[in-house]
Amino acid sequence: MGRSAAHGGSFGAGLPRSRAQAESSRPVAESSQSNAPKPADPPGVPARRAALKLLDAVLRQGLPLEAALGRATAGIERADDRALAHAIAAEVLRRLPDLDSLIDSATPRALPEDAKARFVLRIALVQVLSLGTPAHAAIATVLPLVDGGPKKLVHGVFGALSRRGDTLPEIPALPDPVAIRWHAAWGDDMIEAAEHAIAAPPPLDLTLADPATTADWAERLGGTSLLPGHVRLESAHVPELPGFEAGAWWVQDIAASLPARLIGNGTGTALDLCAAPGGKTMQLAHAGWSVIAVDASEARLTRLRANIARTDTKARVITGDVLHWSPQESVDAVLLDAPCSATGIFRRHPDVLYRTRPSVIAQMAVTQARLLTRAAGWVKPGGTLVYATCSLEREEGETRIEAFLADHPDYAIDPVRPEELPAGVTPHENGWLRLLPGQVQPGGNDGFFIARLRRADR
Ligand SMILES: C[S@@+](CC[C@H](N)C(=O)[O-])C[C@H]1O[C@@H](n2cnc3c(N)ncnc32)[C@H](O)[C@@H]1O
User: Environment class of residue 303 by beta-carbon count within 10 Å: exposed (0-12), middle (13-18) or buried (19+)?
Assistant: middle
State yes or no: 337 annotated in a binding site. Answer: yes
Say yes or no: 28 and 143 in one domain.
yes
Nearest Cα residue to atom 11 of ligand 1: 274
Say yes or no: 247 and 281 in one domain.
no
Residue 103 located in a structural domain: yes
C-alpha angle 65/54/77, rounded to 5°?
105
State yes or no: 169 annotated in a binding site. Answer: no
Say yes or no: 238 and 259 in one domain.
no
> DSSP letter string over 275-310?
-TT-HHHHHHHHTT-EEEEEES-HHHHHHHHHHHHH
Say yes or no: 319 and 228 in one domain.
no
Distance (Å, whole) CA 27 – CA 244: 45
Continuous segment of H or E residues that includes residue 179: helix 176-186
Number of domains in the chain: 3
Q: Which atom of ligand 1 is nearest the CA belonging to 275?
A: 6
Residue 194 located in a structural domain: no
Residue 37 located in a structural domain: yes
Distance (Å, whole) CA 224 – CA 422: 12
Instruction: State which residues form the domain around 97.
Output: 5-164
* Residue 316 φ then ψ, to 5°: -90, 130
Q: How far is CA 453 from the centre of its chain?
A: 27
The pLDDT of residue 30: 43
**390 is annotated as an active-site residue:** yes
Q: Where are the beta strands (DSSP E) in 38-184?
A: none
Which residue from 157, 26, 173, 190 is spatially nearest to 97, judged by alpha carbons?
173
Pocket test residue of 272, 295, 348, 450 for ligand 1, highest count of atoms within 8 A of CB: 295
> DSSP letter string over 338-374?
-----GGGTTT-TTHHHH--HHHHHHHHHHHHHHHHH
Say yes or no: 242 and 375 in one domain.
no
Instruction: Break the chain down into helix, strand, coil percent, rounded to 5.
Output: 45, 15, 40
- Give strand pairing partners of 449: 389, 434
Continuous segment of H or E residues that includes residue 181: helix 176-186
Residue count of the chain:
458
Between the two ends of the chain, the Cα-to-Cα distance in Å is 53
The pLDDT of residue 449: 98
Say yes or no: 124 and 140 in one domain.
yes
The pLDDT of residue 138: 97
Say yes or no: 371 and 293 in one domain.
yes
The pLDDT of residue 38: 52
Distance (Å, whole) CA 302 – CA 314: 15
Distance (Å, whole) CA 279 – CA 260: 9
CA-only gyration radius of the chain, Å? 24
Tens of pLDDT, residues 354-400: 999 999 999 999 999 999 999 999 999 999 999 999 999 999 999 99
DSSP state, residue 227? S
Say yes or no: 209 and 337 in one domain.
no
Q: Which of 90, 160, 390, 421 is catalytic?
A: 390
- Give strand pairing partners of 2: none
Q: Which atom of ligand 1 is nearest the CA belonging to 260?
A: 8
ipTM value, please give it. Answer: 0.99
Pocket test residue of 262, 274, 363, 374 for ligand 1, highest count of atoms within 8 A of CB: 274
CA of 160 to the centre of ligand 1 (A): 47
Q: Which atom of ligand 1 is nearest the CA belonging to 367?
A: 19
Residue 185 located in a structural domain: no
State yes or no: 288 annotated in a binding site. Answer: no
CATH of the domain at 244: 3.30.70.1170
Residue 427 located in a structural domain: yes
Residue 117 located in a structural domain: yes
State yes or no: 456 annotated in a binding site. Answer: no
Nearest Cα residue to atom 27 of ligand 1: 276
Say yes or no: 324 and 270 in one domain.
yes
What's the one-letter identity of residue 339? P
CATH of the domain at 290: 3.40.50.150
Question: Which residues lie with the beta carbon below 6 Å from any ligand 1 atom?
Answer: 274-280, 294-297, 300, 321-323, 337, 339
Say yes or no: 233 and 134 in one domain.
no
> What are the Cα distances from residue 20, in Å, to 100, 104, 122?
16, 12, 16
User: Environment class of residue 80 by beta-carbon count within 10 Å: exposed (0-12), middle (13-18) or buried (19+)?
Assistant: exposed
Low-confidence ranges of the chain (pLDDT < 70): 1-39
Q: Which atom of ligand 1 is nearest the CA belonging to 323?
A: 19
Distance (Å, whole) CA 223 – CA 233: 5
State yes or no: 277 annotated in a binding site. Answer: yes
Nearest Cα residue to atom 2 of ligand 1: 339
CA of 274 to the centre of ligand 1 (A): 3
Nearest Cα residue to atom 14 of ligand 1: 274
Say yes or no: 238 and 359 in one domain.
no
Residue 58 located in a structural domain: yes
Residue 182 located in a structural domain: no
CA of 301 to the centre of ligand 1 (A): 9
Say yes or no: 65 and 133 in one domain.
yes
Q: Which residues are CB-contacts of 73 (< 8 A; sequence separation ≥ 6)?
A: 50, 81, 82, 85, 86
State yes or no: 295 annotated in a binding site. Answer: yes
Sign of the CA dihedral with 80 first, then 86, 87, and 92 last: positive
CATH of the domain at 81: 1.10.940.10
